[in-house]
Amino acid sequence: MGRQVDYYFSLASPWAYLGHAEFMRIAAAQDARVAFRPVFLRDLFDQTGGLPLPRRHPVRQRYRLVDLQRWRAARGLPLVLAPRHVPFDPAPPDRVAVVLADDAAACDAYVRAAFAAAFVEERDLADPATLAACVAAAGRDPDAVLARAQSVEIGEAYARNERAALAADVFGSPSYVLDGEVFWGQDRLALLADALASGRAPYRPA
């Protein structure tokens, strides 16, 4: 296994959905290890000066809808622009991903199922029944995983991800961190692929 990419994301992020499959393809092609690090996005925004969507200027909100359509077409993925159950509390689905993070294949399968549930099928990702179906799609026992997701241990791990994100200068989802260099947004995936393929030294703030 080659270099590690720390993958900071939230299941509440349509941008993470749009980039997930391509990111996993790039990582596999470059023999890179993916470290799944779900984060509570609203806290991350509060800490780094970001604004939740309803508080952004209407100009930014309109541009977001246009850009989602462009990237939906570019990635060839289905995406409902305003899903019925979005926004939702991202903590329950994110915490499930924390449970599965040590098993990259299972976490990948769960994340794909969860993103599809939220942004394609318009299911409520905060509903335990929806989460259970997504966990089952990843080949894991839903009862055991959902119970562990509510544990103090997993809550602490979720909080550690946020602290690690802040320490790494991560401020949004998705962010991919390679050797300390942050690639923010799924639209930076080509640059990440080039960095992995070239083996270049990471860029640092001047």
Tell me the per-residue pLDDT of 147-188, one tens digit each, with 9 for 90 and over. Answer: 999 999 999 999 999 999 999 999 999 999 999 999 999 999
Counting residues of the chain whose pLDDT is more than 70, the rounded percentage is: 100
Over residues 87-98, the pLDDT tens digits come to 999 999 999 999
Residue at 8 is within a domain:
yes
Query: Do the domain assignments include residue 114?
Result: yes
In a domain, 206, yes or no: no
Cα torsion 172, 110, 130, 94: sign:
negative
Q: Is residue 204 part of a domain?
A: no
Residue 62 inside a domain? The answer is: yes
Range of the domain at 142: 4-198
Q: How far is CA 76 from CA 31, 79, 205, in A?
A: 24, 9, 34
Q: pTM of whole model > 0.85?
A: yes
In a domain, 60, yes or no: yes
* CATH code assigned at 161: 3.40.30.10
Q: Please choose, from the candidates 51, 43, 45, 53, the residue with its C-alpha nearest in 3D space to the C-alpha of residue 82.
A: 53
> Computed from CA positions of residues 178, 183, 184, 186, in that sequence, does the dihedral angle turn out positive or negative?
negative
Per-residue pLDDT of 66-76, as tens digits, reads: 999 999 999 99
Tokens of 76: 């060839």
Structure tokens at 28: 């596999």
Total of domains in the chain: 1
Q: Which of 200, 178, 176, 206 is nearest to 19 (CA)?
A: 176
**Which structure tokens are listed for 111?**
């994340």
Look at residue 203 and tell me if it is in a domain. Answer: no
Mean pLDDT within 59-63: 95
Say if 160 falls within a structural domain.
yes
DSSP letter assigned to residue 127: S
Question: Contact, 119 vs 24, CB < 8 A?
Answer: no
